[in-house]
Amino acid sequence: MSSSKRDTRYYSLDFWRGVACLMIVLHHASFYVIENPSLPHSGGFGGLIFRVIDHFWVAVPIFFVISGYCITAACDGTRNKARPMKQYFIRRLRRIFPPFWAAAAILLLGLIVTSLMGCPRFYLDDIHPLHRLSSFSAWQWLGNASLTETWRSHVAGGKRWFFLGPSWSLCYEEQFYAVCGLLLLLTRRWFFRASAVLTAVVAGMAAWNVWVHALPVEGFFFDGRWLLFAAGILVYYRIQRATPRFAKLASLGLLCAALCALAWRFHDNSAATEEYYTGFFFAFMISLLYRWDLAIATHWLARPITWCGIMCYSVYLIHWPVVKPISHFLYNAGVVGNWRTLAVTLPVCLCASVACAWVFHILVERRFLNTPPVYPWHASGQKTAPSPAPESASPLPAAPPSMPI
């Protein structure tokens, strides 16, 4: 039922990663409007814009779907090699942890410097503040450093306490990677079948959690968020390995999942429901847009966003230590209200975050890339049209994308 393609890289995913990481920056740069109880933002067209920005956090499930595709490409390209498990985990650990620790150290330095300067409120005011260093227990520091804090409390007790706020999503990414690594070890030949079985089990647990009895699973990959990652696995299989008939069924399945999640939204108006229909709709969309992959990736209008997407891990890690003090300073300087925030705070935070992320990307992240970053406009001549191979042929190694999320 499968065929291999000459090039399994999905180039325009960097564009979508760029869109997602910039959405996160804008969302966090807007906190002095959307999370300020003394400054209602509901009125007029400006209020409408901020009500939209308030939902930009849905970029996180978009990242989960993209990660599903990318890690599946890495697994598919590794499983025919000797000792795939060792190679897989070394690459994942090297890719994620050193840049994350460096970003956490930069935030720690920012807290220390602002405290010594007598202005700790740049980070510790009343609008979405960071937690004070003294509030962390030894277990919470360990959970943060090891990216296990989402589920660490189930083992060691206490509250979930994040030092670098966006790291909660990386805790899920780490679990997704670990599960895929175990599937690679235990079911190398049946990786996709095992992924489908696991997805069915998680879907059953999620249904039980909603309709029967709440389970103590929050923070684990099987609390339901694996389904978003699995949507990315299905997109990879649909594009790279499925027969035309199964490809149509896969797209239909993603669309049905998105519509079901959207319908459930009318019953359960929770953030979790919004995660699912956003992620499934996005997976359905990119499953169809693959035919225009290079056209999107190399279009001159998309290049600035694609460039951000190539270094999206740096943007995701470094933007919060940058955005928080800048937005605080501008708010205290009188940049208050919808239109001033739109005209000044958001552009300044966006530009500063991208500039600092580029420096971080050059000085830190690039040292831990498993493969050099690929710019689609340089590789556009290398991608050929998909061509089916005989069923007996081994799939060509899939070049893993440069970003972990």
Domain for residue 2, yes or no?
A: no
pLDDT range class, residue 7, cuts 50, 70, 90? low
DSSP collapsed to 3 states, 84-140? HHHHHHHHHHHHHHHHHHHHHHHHHHHHHHHHHCCCCHHHHCCCCCCCCHHHCCHHH
Q: Are 172 and 190 in contact (CB under 8 A)?
A: no
Domain for residue 260, yes or no?
A: yes
Nearest-CA neighbor of 71 among 3, 13, 4? Answer: 13
More confident residue, 26 or 2: 26
pLDDT at 385 (0 to 100): 41
Half-sphere exposure of 358 (CA within 13 A, CB side): 8
Full residue range of the structural domain in which residue 325 is found: 13-130+165-379
Domain for residue 347, yes or no?
A: yes
Task: List Cβ neighbours of 232 (8 Å cut-off, separation of 6 or more).
Answer: 64, 65, 66, 67, 68, 69, 70, 71, 72, 283
pLDDT at 83 (0 to 100): 67
2 backbone dihedrals φ, ψ, rounded to 5°:
-130, 160
Task: List Cβ neighbours of 344 (8 Å cut-off, separation of 6 or more).
Answer: 330, 335
What three-state secondary structure class fits 181?
helix
pLDDT range class, residue 399, cuts 50, 70, 90? very low
Average pLDDT over residues 253-260: 96
One-letter identity of residue 264: W
What three-state secondary structure class fits 380?
coil
DSSP 251-284: HHHHHHHHHHHHHHHTT---HHHHHHHHHHHHHH
pLDDT range class, residue 405, cuts 50, 70, 90? very low
Spatial separation of the C-alpha atoms in residues 306 and 378, rounded to whole Å: 13
b (16+ CB within 10 A) / e for 311-334: bbbbbbbbbbbbbbbbbbebbeee
Average pLDDT over residues 15-30: 96
More confident residue, 37 or 329: 329
Average pLDDT over residues 85-111: 91
Domain for residue 183, yes or no?
A: yes
User: Model confidence over 320-368: pLDDT tens digits?
Assistant: 999 999 999 999 999 998 899 999 999 999 999 999 999 999 999 999 9
pLDDT at 41 (0 to 100): 59
Domain for residue 7, yes or no?
A: no
Average pLDDT over residues 381-394: 40
What is the number of structural domains in the chain? Answer: 1
pLDDT at 331 (0 to 100): 94
* Global pTM exceeds 0.75: yes
pLDDT range class, residue 108, cuts 50, 70, 90? very high
Domain for residue 404, yes or no?
A: no
Spatial separation of the C-alpha atoms in residues 208 and 73, rounded to whole Å: 31
pLDDT range class, residue 271, cuts 50, 70, 90? confident
User: Model confidence over 180-223: pLDDT tens digits?
Assistant: 999 988 888 899 999 999 999 999 998 898 888 888 899 999 99
Domain for residue 135, yes or no?
A: no
User: Model confidence over 220-246: pLDDT tens digits?
Assistant: 999 999 999 999 999 999 999 999 999
Domain for residue 155, yes or no?
A: no
Average pLDDT over residues 264-280: 87
